[in-house]
Structure 1
Amino acid sequence: MERLLLLLVLGLTGASLLEDNKLCPPHSRPWQVSLQSRRTRCSGALVDKWWLVTSAACAPIGTAINASLGEHDVTAEEGTEQHIPVAEVIRHSPYRSPLHSLAMVRLAQPARLTQQVQPIGLPGRCPRPGESCSVSGWGSTVPNQYEDPKRLKCLTVAVVEDQSCINTFPDFIFWSLGMVCAGGADATGCLYDKGAVLVCDGQLQGVQWFSHGCQNAEHPSVYTKLCKYNEWMRRVMDSHTPTTTTARATTFKRP
């Protein structure tokens, strides 16, 4: 019995050490945003002082959402944070799988740009199979193990060719041209955080759609392929950015 307990403790310690090895350098992803509501907690990316990009799963209709910018440890106030209510959420329509999973989130007031809070530009090209990228978010990086989100995690993952990714899909999930996959056998694809941010060569390329790598470490996770949505994202920002900094009540729209 004692040996069993010792092995359990060592196993948990090993998992903890593994998680610590995947911590981001503090504030090395100044575009990363934590989104919280009564129903969910997930990630997004700041792309403009007014706007965030996230997955549709991070934008529950009828729920007040708050955005925290300049975060590293979400359990502590570090003096770099900006906590801003969300004023407007615009989901790409139709938003249910297998079609699209993308939402634009407008802040109630513009972010104050600092060293710890900076936007990342929309993609200038699409990601390439085999390309090395970074994915960041809050949550467990160990498959099939839950961890309360604390400090920001970073993984290095490779973009996976479409057909190789399709071959890992369960029967109830269908492929969409708005998907890109990363992670898998050569590097773990598990980061359990809806809306986790995929960056390749300094460009925003995805927000997490399905965390397949957290069910099977051999499988890549699926991200919204943001290069396919540049025109839509720019159109939303051009037509919905306010001319004043007056906060508005939260609204939800589908263009």
Structure 2
Amino acid sequence: MTLLLLLVVFGLTGAYPLEEQKTCQPHSRPWQVYLHGKGASCSGALINKWWIVTSFECSPIPYSTIASLGEHDVTVEEGTEQHIYVADVIYHSPYRSPLHSLAMVRLVKPARFTQYVQPVPLPSRCPQPGETCNVSGWGSTIPNQYEHPQHLKCITVPVVDDRTCVNTFPEFLFWTAGMVCAGQANTDNCMNQGGSVMVCDGQLQGVQWFTHGCSNPADPSVYTKLCIYNDWITGVMDHYTPPLPTETTPRMMT
């Protein structure tokens, strides 16, 4: 009875995922964004009313990709969503090299903040080995198995030190300072969706880069280490100039 009560309390607070299917408590991650359309199906994190952070792998397409905010079940309309087209995508250069995997997504109109749609703070520090973080996305949490996106999933992972992570890399992959790894044997370290969001102590610390933990559950997965990109992210937002519309620019907004 005590265990059951604890599970109910944790579930109501959104502190832990529902263990049976690792489904998040609905709308407990109001910064989570579902990016979809033109073949895209990935995650991102809302950082202010105009901007989303995701990985290079996500590769949204302006005026073709839709950013759905306030989502939980992507197969139905729950009345909490805001569907807004992507207006622009800015990649960190060099694009998806061994060095970086990061993209900034600008919306065609600002998000409206509600209890279901809220930004997540950028990191004020870097994550530390042993720290427990939460990863969320609409991907499969079962290694080597595809699941069609439906409910937002949540897993809890420990940050691992760089050396431990590098030792799991295949020969073709090189470690860079822009990476941070999380997950280890006997933890739920698989979230198979590009741009899945890692939050540590209430701060955005990563977007998923390589899903090593989904091919081998004993290996950590790799995330873009966002704490070292703060200056670049804020610089993009501070100096952004919208491109001039052309006759071929679609006029699509929701």
Instruction: Please say if residues 178 and 224 of structure 2, whose CA atoms lie closer than 8 Å, have aligned partners that are also in contact.
Output: yes
| Structure-2 separation of matches of 1:21 and 1:76 | 19
Superposed displacement of residue 188, structure 1: 2.1
Instruction: State how far apart, in whole Å, the 2-side matches of 1:231 and 1:202 are.
Output: 19
> What is the CA-CA distance between 1:97 and the residue it aligns to?
2.9
TM superposition shift of 1:21: 3.2
Contact 1:31 1:119 in 2 (8 A): yes
Q: Matched residues in 2 for 1:24 and 1:186: separation?
A: 20
- Determine the C-alpha separation between the residues in 1 that align with 2:76 and 2:186: 34
Whether the 8 Å contact between 2:138 and 2:152 is mirrored in structure 1 is yes
- Alpha-carbon distance between aligned partners in 2 of 1:50 and 1:90, rounded to the nearest angstrom: 13
Q: How does 1:142-181 map to 2 (within 5 A)?
A: 142-181=142-181
Among the aligned pairs, what percent are the same residue? 67
Q: What TM-score does the superposition give when structure 2 sets the normalisation length?
A: 0.86
Residue in structure 2 matched with residue 137 of structure 1 by the alignment: 137
| Deviations 1:140-177 (CA, angstroms, capped at 9, x unpaired) | 10000110010000000000100000000001111110
In the alignment, which residue of structure 1 is the partner of 2:5? none
Aligned to 1:206: 206
Counterpart for residue 51 of structure 2: 51
Q: Which amino acid aligns with 1:46?
A: L
What one-letter code is carried by the residue in structure 2 that aligns with 1:30?
A: P
- Distance in 2 (CA, whole Å) between partners of 1:39 and 1:148 is 13
In the TM superposition, what is the alpha-carbon distance from 1:60 to its structure 2 partner? 4.9
Higher relative contact order (Cα pairs below 8 Å, separated by 6+ residues): 1
Which segments of structure 1 move beyond 3 Å, counting only runs of 4 or more?
A: 18-21, 60-63
- Structure 2 CA distance for aligned equivalents of residues 62 and 86 of structure 1: 5
The match for 2:84 is 84
Structure 1 position 136, deviation (Å): 0.2
Q: Which runs of 5+ in 1 are unaligned?
A: 1-17, 243-247, 251-255
Residue identity opposite 1:76 in structure 2: V
Contact map agreement 1:49 1:119 (CA 8 A) in 2: yes
Task: Work out the CA distance in 1 between the residues paired with 2:231 and 2:62.
Answer: 27
Deviations 1:191-242 (A, max 9, x none): 1010000000000000000011000000010000000100000000011166
What is the aligned partner in structure 1 of residue 218 from structure 2?
A: 218
Q: 1:19 to 1:148 in 2, by over 3 A?
A: farther
| Residue pair 1:19, 1:140 contacting (<8 A) in 2 also | no
Deviation of the 1:20 alpha carbon:
4.0
State the distance in 2 between where 1:62 and 1:81 align.
20
Q: CA deviation at 1:39?
A: 2.3
| Aligned mates of 1:172, 1:82 — CA distance in 2 | 40
Paired with 1:200 and 1:230, the residues of 2 have a C-alpha distance of 16
Output the amino acid matched with 1:132. T
**1:27 and 2:15 equivalent?**
no
**Number of matched residues?**
228
Between stretches 93-102 and 228-237, larger displacement belongs to 93-102
The residue aligned with 1:124 is 124
Structure 2 stretches lacking a partner, 5+ long: 1-17, 243-247
The amino acid that maps onto 2:29 is R
Q: What is the Cα deviation at residue 41 of structure 1?
A: 0.4
